[in-house]
A = this chain, B = another copy of it.
Amino acid sequence: MRQSGLLNDVTCSLTVDKSPHNAFLPLLVAFLILAFAAVFWTSLPYIRRCRSTQRLMDLVCCQGSQHSMESVRTTLQNEETTNELSMEQNKSKSTRLKSLDTFRGFSLTVMVFVNYGGGGYWFFEHAPWNGLTVADLVMPWFVFIIGTSVVLAFSSMHKKGVPRLQLLRKLSWRTIVLMLIGFCFINYSPRDGLLSWSWLRIPGVLQRLGFTYFVLALMQTFSPHREIPLKEHHWWNPIQDVLLYWPEWLFVALLEIMWLCITFFMPVPNCPTGYLGAGGIGDDGLYSNCTGGAAAYIDRWLLGDKIYWHPSCKALYHTTQPFEPEGVLGTINSIVMGFFGMQAGKILLFFREKNRSILTRFLAWALILGISAAILSKCTRDEGFIPVNKNLWSLSYVTCMGFMSFVLLGVMYFVVDIKKWWGGQPFIYPGLNSIFVYVGHSLLGFYFPFSWEMRFQDSHWEKLFQNLWGTALWVFIAYLLYRKRFFLKI
C-alpha cells in the first residue's frame, strides 16, 4: 500500500506450481500433544490412586526412590519457599501468592519459546514496527510482575522491621547485579566474536528491567507505609488505594507527561517533530533516517552508536540507522508499566481476604487501561493517535499491556489462589527460578540439547519441535531445581 507510488507500472499474476504444505499443521499437532501432556499430568494422581495400577508401578519403579520423591514433595509443600520478591506480607500466614509465580513463569516460558525461534512463525517474532505479536507481549508482563513483587516483598520486609538503609542496600545490589548480568553475560552472543569497542551495546533487556526495578523499589522504599482505615466511610472509599498514594501517582503522571512532551514536541534535526514511524522506505521513504524519531535521537545523543544495530524494522523497512528497543525514553514507560503492577500489588495487600474487592478492582483497571489503549490506537495498527509499538514502548502499548496483565493476573489469581483449581504447574517452576532460567536459556541456547543443526530447513516441523523441546527442557530443569529446593536469589 505504502509503496504504491513506486510500483504503479508493475503488475503481478500469481500461479501456484506446487500446493504448499500447511504451515500451521505442526502448530496444531504441537498443541494437541501439549494438551494431551497436560491432561495426562493432571490425571496422573488419579491413575496412581487405582490399586491395580499402583501395584504395577511398584513392580516397574524402584519403590524406595518413589517414596523419597513423595516425601520431598510433601516437605516442600509444607514449607515456605524462599523467593522473597513475591512473598506475601502476612507473615503469620506466610503463604505465597502462587498466581504471581505462575504468571511470572508463564511469561518466562513464552519468552524462552519466542527467543528460541517460536517455530519460525511470524506471530512469534517481534512486529517489524507498529503492531502486536506474541513476542511483544512478554517483556511488559515481566515489568508488571516486577512492580507487583516489589510491593509485596517490600511491604513484607517493612513489617519484619527491616531498616530502610538495608532495603536501599538490597535494592541497589540487585540493580547492579541485574545490570551487570545484562551487560556482561547476556547481551553478546559468542558468534559475534569477542566484545569489542566497535560493536558495543550498552542498553539491553536486563539493564532496563534492572533500572525499572530500581526506580519502583526506590519509590516503594520512600513511600510511607499506609493502612486503609477500614472503619470510616467516605465517598472515596472505593478508590482509597489510589488516593492514599497520590504523591506516587503525581510522580508517575509527571513522568508520563515528560514522555509525551519529549516524544511529540522535541525537535529532531532533519525529521518531522513528533515522528513515530520506522523511517527507511516507510512513509514513501521521506524520512528514511528518522527511525524512531525522538527516542532514537536521544539514544544516539546519549549513547552514540553503542546501541542496537539490528532493530526489528530493518528487514521490512530497509532502515539504515541503529535503533535501540530498550532505549532511554522507553524506560520511562517501562516505569509506568511497572507502576501498574505496583497498583495490583497494593490492591492485593489492601483488600487481602476480600477476593471480591480485589477482582472488581483488577477488572476496573483492566477496563480503564484497555479503553485508553483502544482510544489511543483507534483500534488500528497504524492510524491511531499513538500506535501500539513495542520498539518505542508507546503509551498505547503500555496501556494495552497493562490491560492484559490485569486480566491475566486476575484470572490466575481467581483460578490458582481463590478457587485452587490449578496449582500453576508447570509454569510455577520457572516462575520460582526466573533469573536462573533467563540467564541459562540465554547462555545455552546454541548448545545441544537445546538446539542442533536442522535437517528440514524448508518446513516448520523441526523448528517448532526444536523450540518447544528447548522450552520444555528449561521448564523441566526448573522443576528439578524446585524439587531440589534450589532457588537462585540475587
Chain A residues close to B by CB (< 8 Å): 64-65, 165-166, 169, 183-185, 188-191, 193-198, 443-444, 446-449, 451-454
A190 to B184, alpha carbons, bound, how many Å? Answer: 17
Q: Is the CB of A184 within 8 A of B447?
A: yes
Q: Is the CB of A443 within 8 A of B444?
A: yes
Q: Is the CB of A447 within 8 A of B185?
A: yes
Q: In the complex, what's the smallest C-beta–C-beta distance from A88 to chain B, in angstroms?
A: 25
Q: In the complex, what's the smallest C-beta–C-beta distance from A5 to chain B, in angstroms?
A: 42
Most buried by B among A196, A443, A447: A447
Partner of A452, one of B189, B196, B448, B449: B196
Contacts of A443 in B (CB 8 A): 443-444
Q: In the complex, what's the smallest C-beta–C-beta distance from A489 to chain B, in angstroms?
A: 10
Q: Is the CB of A195 within 8 A of B451?
A: yes
With A190-B447, A194-B454, A198-B453 given, name 19 new contacts (CB 8 A): A183-B448, A184-B447, A185-B444, A185-B447, A188-B447, A188-B448, A190-B190, A190-B191, A193-B453, A194-B446, A194-B448, A194-B451, A194-B452, A195-B447, A195-B448, A195-B451, A195-B452, A196-B452, A196-B453
A454 to B198, alpha carbons, bound, how many Å? Answer: 12
Q: Is the CB of B195 within 8 A of A453?
A: yes
Contacts of A64 in B (CB 8 A): 165-166
Contacts of A169 in B (CB 8 A): 65
Contacts of A183 in B (CB 8 A): 448
Nearest CB to that of A449 among chain B residues? Answer: B184
Contacts of A197 in B (CB 8 A): 453
Contacts of A449 in B (CB 8 A): 184
A437 to B190, alpha carbons, bound, how many Å? Answer: 19
Q: Is the CB of A194 within 8 A of B453?
A: yes
**9 A-B pairs with C-beta separation under 8 A:** A183-B448, A185-B444, A189-B190, A190-B191, A190-B447, A194-B452, A196-B452, A198-B453, A443-B444
Contacts of A447 in B (CB 8 A): 184-185, 188, 190, 195
Contacts of A191 in B (CB 8 A): 190-191
Contacts of A165 in B (CB 8 A): 64
Contacts of A452 in B (CB 8 A): 194-196
A-B CB proximity, top 4 nearest: A196-B453, A195-B448, A190-B446, A195-B452
A449 to B186, alpha carbons, bound, how many Å? Answer: 11
Contacts of A166 in B (CB 8 A): 64
Q: In the complex, what's the smallest C-beta–C-beta distance from A99 to chain B, in angstroms?
A: 29
Q: In the complex, what's the smallest C-beta–C-beta distance from A485 to chain B, in angstroms?
A: 13
Contacts of A196 in B (CB 8 A): 452-453
